[in-house]
Amino acid sequence: MTLGRRQFLAASAALGAAVTAPSLLAGGLSGAPPSRYPDTAWHSLDERFDRYVLFNSPLERQWSGGLWLEGPAWNAIGRYAVFSDIPRARQMRWDEASGQVSVLRHEVGHSNGNTFDTQGRLVACEHSPARVVRYEWDGSLSVLVDQYNGKHLNAPNDLVALDSGGIIFTDPGYGAHVDYEGHRRELELDTAVYYWEDGMQEPLVLTTELFKPNGIALAPDGKSLYVTDTAPSHHPDQPATITRFTLADGGKRLDAMQRLVESDSEGYDGMTVDVDGNLWVGTSGGEGVDGVSVFAPDGTLIGRILLPEVCANVCFVGDDRNRLLMTASQSIYTLYTGTRGA
């Protein structure tokens, strides 16, 4: 059979596409070779952790290109996660279905922690100006709280939304120390954990007993509150800690303060809790420590997820809430687990 010029060109183009298409000739191979199962990111330290380790679950680096990534929050309806690139003053959006990352909002006051309230509205902590804001259904921005006792907040860091409609947030002041995650200025208030709800003129101080109250999470039953303290960053003589409080008066008071974890060699940042009450905590401390530390409800370290970068914060995502999303320095990672987020 003799091929015409058009037929020859079409056949050549098809052959060239087949040669260069990895999905056809290389089984879809691209990028770095896969790691051997089980992934070396898993590091079990206690048999209680073994049930959460999935033998064939790989650590996946979803995206890189941030400066200091923080504050992930999962939106189940939209199947996306919001997270912050604090130095660039951007809120970012990771789409679970496509795996794509895009800028959700820019110039957002060096936004840090994010959460969705019971009505599905995004609530965010901002460093500069120092405030807690809420994005309403019509797209408008409401400033919920920016002062206490006539003084500016330090730099709200992380928060949780209560079923009652109230929020609890930490205010350690990291966005006020240097011109990077905010703008440098002197702190006007003691570092504290606050409660706020609609109708309040100013928030309630829940505690000032922590040096640098940072990450925050609720127990599965909603009766206990966990707060990390990154004290060593500005108080070298103090350990990094994780403290548990009992919520009273609908979250307007904290009782039964109990220090669960303390360390002189590791730092604990943002965290989330699974359905069994285990704490999954963003951790820094160097190679072999950087990543996520997993603590049983009694405070025992039972396992780690090791990352090549410092991990600032985590949340569970996906239809089954069994996929851990980690904001780690410049990148975001995911890992399927044998548990679900509370």
320, part of any domain: no
Residue 21 has a pLDDT of 39
The answer to whether residue 260 is domain-embedded is yes
Range of the domain at 197: 109-264
Q: How many domains does the chain have?
A: 1
Q: Is residue 209 part of a domain?
A: yes
What is this structure's pTM? 0.90
| 224 domain residue, yes or no | yes
Instruction: Return the pLDDT at 25.
Output: 34
Any domain includes 271: no
- Phi/psi for 6 (5° steps) reads -65, -40
Please state the length of the chain: 342
Q: Put residue 202 in one of left, alpha, beta given phi > 0 → left and psi -120 to 50 → alpha.
A: beta
Question: What is the pLDDT at residue 36?
Answer: 87
Residue 18 lies in a domain: no
CA triple 100-28-66, angle to 5 deg: 30
For residue 134, tell me if it sits in a domain.
yes
Q: What is the pLDDT of residue 1?
A: 45
Query: Which parts of the chain sit beneath pLDDT 70?
Result: 1-32
Distance CA 24, CA 225 (A): 52
Neighbours of 151 (CB within 10 A): 11
| 211 domain residue, yes or no | yes
CA distance 296 to 126: 31
CATH code at 137? Answer: 2.120.10.30
Neighbours of 165 (CB within 10 A): 14
- Residue 4: its pLDDT value, please? 53
